Amino acid sequence: MKFVAVRLVQLVVVLLAATFFTYSLTFIADTPDQVVDKLLQLQQGSPEERARIENDLNLDDPLPVRYGKWLGDAATGDLGQSYSAQEPVLDRIQTRLPRTLALVFYAQLIALALAIPAGIVAAWRANTWVDRGLSSTSIGMIAVPNYVLAVLLQFFFAVNLGWFPAVTSSDLSIFDFNSYLLPALSLAAGQVAVYMRLLRTDMIATLQDDFIGMAKAKGLPTRKILLRHALRPSSLSLVTTIGINAGVAIGGTVIIEIIFGMPGMGTMLVDAIFRGDVLVVQGVVAVVAASFVLINFVIDLLYAALDPRIRSVRAAA
Amino acid sequence: MSAPQPELTDLELERAEETATDDADVPRRKGWGVGFWLAVTWTVLILGLSALAPWLPFVDSPGAFGDFSVEPSAGPSADHWFGVNDNGVDLFSQVVWGGRVSLFISLSVVVIGFLLGGLIGMTAGFLRGRVDRVVSAVIDVLLAFPALVLALAVVAIFASDGNAVRPTIPVIILSLAILSVAPLARITRGVTLAFSEREFVTAARTLGAKSTRILRREILPNVVPPMAAFSLVVIAVVIVAEGALAFLGLSVSAPAPTWGKLIATGRLNMEASPHLVYFPAGVMFLTILSLNYIGDVLQGKMSVREGVL
């Protein structure tokens, strides 16, 4: 229970810190008048229009009060109005968030599907040519920025070979695997290397344990020892890192979405940035922060499920 | 090692902390290896070209007009080693100038991280207790939050005039600083924590040395080498992150397009002239690979010094 409580406090702190940071940035850089100017260049601005925006953004109030009002509205599900799209920020986010989360999910799935077998083999055959080959490959993969990989994959498999769409449709469904494959692969490649190395290190340590020797002595097949006995206790730091990487992955989606023209949170954020649409930027950062913390929360619960020792230690504490 | 995303994973940080602090009971490889020297050669080459760009005869100045004697978007030739772009501008020169900007930004970001992160990390590691707990919690949050999203927000807000976003080099440096401060603070904290326990620190304290003197004379010299080794990895991360911003159109336009920007513009016409993507991407890949590799080897070697003590 204590562990859940600590996590919840963290959730709130991260949310407040991230949103207050972006919120105050807007008004450090620009005076309230300039904020309105930026927004009005998108439309014809009459004095009434100016007054309406000033009222919407509570520009008469001092910064902390204004932030407090934004926060209060946000808590009740009102993230304000997007001035460029002429619709509530929340509506836009609702159609786009699932697509971005799906991208993160598929990328992690691909990364794990490649990293777990590779990590097991590397640990099982540690310090042989197989292991060295795998780790050299992973060093190389880590040095390829995801956007470079995305550009190359898009060029070869979508433009040249035409196997996949080069640009996704504007009403992309989250089950459109054909459209998701290349973007997810671009995001996954670097993580494969990280996960593989992590699993390899832990697995080598686990394979030295007495219970593995016992399993070998009983004459169990290698396959069973590796998958049934060694994998689970070796996967703890891997699971933790997946949680930590959720932030990295969410950050990475921005650029991948732009390259493949995916209508997700990333394209929405960049678009809003170019238009000076402050409430959209603010809303996206808040939602990204919230999903990031929630993903980590779920990962933590998973962690406890994987290792009963942690459950009991935490229950005792 | 750095992930292609512009953030550091826990794994790398932990490894950096471990290698920086553990004692040399593991036998170390003698010598540096061919790969290490190749990586150093490449890095020196890139740094040299970037630093000397204005004076090198085979590098055109950034504002130079295109060469009209060749086809637009022509591939590599004796005159134009990396080919030319659609305006006939020499790509090799653009890569050199872009690298100069990318590297200047990355080095500045790492210097900020070194000073600020070092100060925060040493303070937290040395004082421990409540200060350490608060600092560590903040660092953890910073490390985990999608830094690129925050960097985007910072660039957008400081560099937008409503019509367009035109970041200057200082704005880019500022927005990327978060990427270097948090990891370097965490490494420094870990190393400081380990060294504060050592005999020579106890000895200095017994002799009546003040905390500031212990920090400066006993701890600082030991903390700097692992920080420096780790900084190489951070430089690679920042180069990638700057490229990401450039890809989103949030990069400096003067004096020259950075590597990320070259790739981003090159990709628009990849079918006709793929060399416009291959060369900048290849140079970027080799540079990141080299920096990561050197950083890795140096971090591994760090404990040798410990063994000698």
Q: How confident is the model over A235-255, as pLDDT tens digits?
A: 777 877 777 677 677 778 888
Task: Determine contact: B171 vs chain A, CB below 8 A.
Answer: no
Q: How confident is the model over A253-310, as pLDDT tens digits?
A: 888 998 888 888 888 888 887 777 778 888 888 887 777 777 777 777 776 676 666 5
With CA atoms as reference, report the closest residue to A67 among A25, A38, A24: A24
Look up residue A82 and give its DSSP letter: E
Length of chain B: 309
Please answer yes or no on whether A251 and B146 come within 8 Å at the CB atom: yes
pLDDT at A114 exceeding the cut of 80: yes
Please answer yes or no on whether A144 and B154 come within 8 Å at the CB atom: no
Nearest CA-CA distance, residue B227 and chain A, Å: 21
Q: CA angle at residue B227 from B224 to B232, to 5 degrees?
A: 130
Contact assessment for residue A249 and residue A107, using Cβ atoms and an 8 Å cutoff: yes
A105/A112 Cα distance (integer angstroms)? 11
pLDDT at A312 exceeding the cut of 60: no
Nearest CA-CA distance, residue A138 and chain B, Å: 10
Give pLDDT tens digits along chain B (309 positions): 333 444 555 556 665 665 554 444 444 556 777 888 998 999 999 998 888 877 877 777 776 666 667 677 666 776 767 777 777 677 788 888 888 888 999 999 999 999 999 999 998 888 888 888 888 878 877 776 677 777 877 777 776 665 566 778 888 888 888 888 988 898 888 888 888 888 888 888 888 888 888 888 888 888 888 888 888 888 998 998 888 888 887 777 766 788 888 888 888 887 778 888 888 889 999 999 999 888 888 877 775 344 333
What pLDDT score does B227 carry?
87
Compare B112 and A51 and report the one with higher pLDDT: B112
pLDDT at A6 exceeding the cut of 90: no
Please answer yes or no on whether A274 and B247 come within 8 Å at the CB atom: no
Contact assessment for residue B104 and residue B169, using Cβ atoms and an 8 Å cutoff: yes
Q: How many angstroms separate the Cα of B296 from the Cα of each of A182, A235, B15?
A: 30, 24, 9
Q: How many CB atoms lie within 10 A of CB A265?
A: 28
Q: How confident is the model over A200-220, as pLDDT tens digits?
A: 888 888 888 888 888 888 888
Residues 6 or more apart whose Cβ sits within 8 Å of residue B141: A10, A13, A14, A17
Kindly state the tokens that stand for B221.
Answer: 């010299």
Nearest CA-CA distance, residue B27 and chain A, Å: 15
What pLDDT score does B228 carry?
87
The torsion angles phi and psi of B160, rounded to 5 degrees, stand at -95, 140
The torsion angles phi and psi of B127, rounded to 5 degrees, stand at -80, -30
Q: Which of A18, A143, A159 sits opposite B271 (nearest CB)?
A: A159
Compare A35 and B40 and report the one with higher pLDDT: B40
Please answer yes or no on whether A274 and B5 come within 8 Å at the CB atom: no
Please answer yes or no on whether B5 and A21 come within 8 Å at the CB atom: no
- Residue at token pair 């370097």: B184
What pLDDT score does B65 carry?
67
Task: Determine contact: B292 vs chain A, CB below 8 A.
Answer: yes
Residues 6 or more apart whose Cβ sits within 8 Å of residue A186: A146, A147, A149, A150, A153, A256, A259
Closest CA in chain A for residue B5: A252
A66/A59 Cα distance (integer angstroms)? 7
The torsion angles phi and psi of A305, rounded to 5 degrees, stand at -70, -30
pLDDT at A132 exceeding the cut of 70: yes
What pLDDT score does B11 carry?
55
Please answer yes or no on whether B243 and A198 come within 8 Å at the CB atom: no
What pLDDT score does A71 carry?
84
Task: Determine contact: B167 vs chain A, CB below 8 A.
Answer: no
What pLDDT score does B12 carry?
61
pLDDT at A85 exceeding the cut of 80: no
Contact assessment for residue A24 and residue B157, using Cβ atoms and an 8 Å cutoff: no
Kindly state the tokens that stand for A200.
Answer: 């390899």
What pLDDT score does B68 carry?
67
Q: How many CA atoms lie within 13 Å of B217's alpha carbon, on the beta-carbon side? A: 11
What pLDDT score does B78 carry?
67
CB contacts, 8 Å: A6 with chain B: none
Compare B240 and A85 and report the one with higher pLDDT: B240
pLDDT at A181 exceeding the cut of 50: yes
What pLDDT score does A268 carry?
87
Kindly state the tokens that stand for A179.
Answer: 């459209």
Q: How many CA atoms lie within 13 Å of A57's alpha carbon, on the beta-carbon side? A: 25
